[in-house]
Amino acid sequence: MTGKNCIRSILTILLLQWMGHGVMAQGKYDLYYSVGLDTAAHYLNVELTYTQKGGTNTDELVLNMPVWTPGYYEILNFPKHLCDFAAKDAKGNRLTWRKDGMNRWRVQTSDCQKATITYRIYANKRDVASSRVDGSAAFIAPAGVFMHVDGEINHPVSVTFQMPSSWQHISTGLLPNTKNGHTFTAKDFDTLYDSPFLLGNHYVKEFEHEGHPYTFAIETPDGIEEIGFEQDFKRIVSTTTQLMGDVPYNNYCLIHMGEGGGGLEHLNSQACYTDGTYRFPSRRSHVKFLAFTTHEYFHLYNVKCIRPAELWPIDYNREAITPMLWVSEGLTCYYEFRLLRNAGIATPEEALELLSTYFSLYAPYDGQHHASLRQSSYDIWLNFMNNDDNERDVRVNYYFKGPVIGLLMDIDIRRKTHQQHSLDDVMRRLYQKYYQQLQRGFTEEEFWTEVADIAGQPLTDIRRLVDTTDDIDYDSYLREAGLYVNTADWSIRRVEKPNKQQRQFLKAMNML
């Protein structure tokens, strides 16, 4: 960290302290969490202090814990990991409470202005939506740890971690508001639930890039310097922010944990399990890993800001069903291909190989004839991480078919506008109009209306391919762009000898 960065960090901390106190003072109560770590038995010991302000009193404190976390479209029933719930008043007298539903607690608070709630969370699962604590580190997935007052997601909240004295770091997208870096204030619970924490003695690297501070928090950094990961990440950031024309965060934290599967996008961070090393066995696996990081980074725009209407505001008590996850996830997969190529990281062949991998995961299977992309988005809450052995026979995965539809859309917009516009314009339009100006999500009809507006006419055929299980005539899109499908291995390739028009198209898509 440079001297200039230090001064900015101090100013930011002071600003946040002031904001935190300022916001806290507005509510009728304060909420402070303290989290202790039982590293041997894998428990988080949670203590919530609720303090009424201004002499007000309430008969009952109703607390809710989410049943899912944004980006992970499955009811996870977080309260199943909770035990030993208890409540006391300021004098230490026990307060009575009862459960009211799977994720709601009602605490009787008559005549008391302060209540202390305690409970334990079993945290011993290695996935990005779950918490984990052991002798060397803790990963806190906040939606499964912290309760909010029923119906009051917009209330500010502070969290302090009690760490083992030998642990040095807490890494998260939130900035600390105390000198020792153990306390964080979120302006509301949406922010807290979208800010995972990594605690321990992991590798931490802080740097500034194009005016914004970044933190790498890496559990298993083996090889990270040698492969130039920081340089590649900066190129991904620059390419993405140039494409979108805006940076939607102040600071960004990249949390990469040890060996395991999955990654999850967050407000100004990403949390991913990795291969446990940055020494990749092949160039192919290296590019795939960079695509994974690019995917979570692009989600900052596509799903965190560019949102289907059903995904915002968030109801943590039930599913957020939308027919447009193929836009949020499928087009994000398409932008792995585009961004890595535009950043000069992937060659045209490597970029096409990324797309081909997705293509080969649905094109040979019958599932595409039984469920549309739209339907697979809508039903994901029934099928997330589904391992049924008939999965590929009856369903289609929007992670696989979505990016291919993204390619066809991009080509169709480009040819309809004679290369004046592309899918990039659609993403920018959705970002500027719905996120920045209207500050809301977009409906399905609004999505297609914006696409038609950019393309100069409706993309009727593409919409049919999204909404139905009709066979796709790939050649009718790909040939003009100098690409074709090789059904021998279900790959998408460049034609061997592109004609003049195909060369122009390939050049426009940066694929020459």
Residue at shortest CB range from Zn ion: 329
Q: Report whether the peptide linkage leading into residue 313 is cis, meaning its omega lies within 30 degrees of zero.
A: yes
Encode 218-247: b = buried (16+ Cβ within 10 Å), e = exposed: bbbbeebeebebbebbbbbbebbbebbeeb
Q: Which is nearer to Zn ion, 177 or 302 (CB)?
A: 302
Task: Name the minimum Å distance from CB 329 to Zn ion.
Answer: 5
- State the residue for tokens 């971690």: 161
Cα distance between residue 501 and residue 413, in whole Å? 16
Task: Name the minimum Å distance from CB 194 to Zn ion.
Answer: 14
Cα distance between residue 194 and residue 177, in whole Å? 18
Q: Which is nearer to Zn ion, 194 or 412 (CB)?
A: 194
- Residue 482's contacts (CB-CB under 8 Å, 6 or more residues apart) are 494, 495, 498, 502, 503, 505, 506, 511
Q: What is the DSSP letter of 497?
A: S
Q: Which is nearer to Zn ion, 296 or 350 (CB)?
A: 296
Report helix, strand or coil for 22.
helix
Which one of 130-138, 202-210, 224-232, 325-333 is the stretch in contact with Zn ion (CB under 5 A)? 325-333
Which one of 106-114, 201-209, 233-241, 323-331 is the stretch in contact with Zn ion (CB under 5 A)? 323-331
Task: Name the minimum Å distance from CB 73 to Zn ion.
Answer: 10
- State the residue for tokens 């996870």: 76
Task: Name the minimum Å distance from CB 23 to Zn ion.
Answer: 31
Task: Name the minimum Å distance from CB 71 to Zn ion.
Answer: 7
Cα distance between residue 321 and residue 384, in whole Å? 12
Cα distance between residue 393 and residue 124, in whole Å? 34
- Looking only at residues 419 through 458 of this chain, which bind Zn ion when binding is defined by CB under 5 A? none
- State the residue for tokens 């393309």: 455
Closest CA to 454 of 484, 416, 487, 494: 416
Report helix, strand or coil for 368.
helix
Residues 326-345, one symbol each (x = binds Zn ion by CB under 5 A, - = not), give: ---x----------------
Cα distance between residue 269 and residue 118, in whole Å? 29
# binding residues, Zn ion (CB under 5 A): 1
Residues 161-180, one symbol each (x = binds Zn ion by CB under 5 A, - = not), give: --------------------
Which one of 30-38, 51-59, 278-286, 324-332 is the stretch in contact with Zn ion (CB under 5 A)? 324-332
Q: Which is nearer to Zn ion, 79 or 403 (CB)?
A: 403
Q: Which is nearer to Zn ion, 128 or 454 (CB)?
A: 128
Q: Which is nearer to Zn ion, 156 or 308 (CB)?
A: 308
Task: Name the minimum Å distance from CB 299 to Zn ion.
Answer: 6
Q: Which is nearer to Zn ion, 274 or 502 (CB)?
A: 274
The crossing angle, in degrees rounded to 10, of helices 331-342 and 398-416 is 60
Task: Name the minimum Å distance from CB 295 to Zn ion.
Answer: 6
Which one of 83-91, 308-316, 322-330, 430-438 is the stretch in contact with Zn ion (CB under 5 A)? 322-330
Q: Which is nearer to Zn ion, 329 or 410 (CB)?
A: 329
Q: Which is nearer to Zn ion, 329 or 353 (CB)?
A: 329
Mode of pairing for the β-strands spanning 483-486 and 491-494 = antiparallel
Task: Name the minimum Å distance from CB 303 to Zn ion.
Answer: 7
Report helix, strand or coil for 46.
strand
Give the footprint of Zn ion on this chain (CB under 5 A). 329
